[in-house]
Amino acid sequence: MSTYVLVPGMCHGSWCFDDLTVSLRAAGHHVLALTLTGVAERAHLLPGGVNLDTHITDVLAAIDNDSAADDELILVGHSYGGMVITGTADRIPDRVDSLVFLDAVVPHDGEACWDLVNDEERRWYVAVDDTGFGVPPMPFFDDRATAHPLATVLQPLRLRGGLSRFRQRVFVYALDWPGDSPLLPSYERVRHDPTWNVHELDGRHNLMRDKPEEVLHILLEVSAQ
């Protein structure tokens, strides 16, 4: 049994992993699917004071308070969640086995999510809601999606070590974008690196919903290898 920690992208809650969570548990694994502070059903929690460090602390607290979580964690981050799993792994490297970037940003020390995406994505970030703190959900997002705290995509991530410390680094790239993918810079960063396992799926950005069987297969491979 492995413990999978599932971290959503912007504006989404743990519910975006519902089907994947059921499938991983059916395969005998423990799953922590998280909703981050200031988002979705936790949108009421002071979004103006929420930054990237807050979200990393969310994940660390969830792990520490789960008695069933083992010491060979597999962290899975979707989209913006790549920032969060990288920061989390850096804080508890002895507990993390592998990282899976599910069409997600792959940051280096000193980089913010803002630095890793294209101009179209940045224009979305700064088209804030009436509070001035929230990035509004896209019209095609799930009805449960809410505004996302702007500071989380602007704060640089500070790291003490590199990702090579972890047994496996996996990147899953979504090919079906309506235009240029904002995750292309992160994909290019790892696609030719022989120490990474890189996959391309002919699906839309929310791969866990659009290509559930393929994503499940990739995640189970991480545990099996």
Residue positions annotated with a catalytic role: 79
C-alpha span between 53 and 113 (Å, rounded): 13
HSE-CB at 50 with a 13 A cutoff on CA atoms is: 26
CA dihedral over 157, 68, 30, 96, signed as positive or negative? positive
Write the CA distances from 90 to 11, 40, 95, 103, integer angstroms.
24, 26, 10, 20
Radius of gyration of the chain (CA): 16
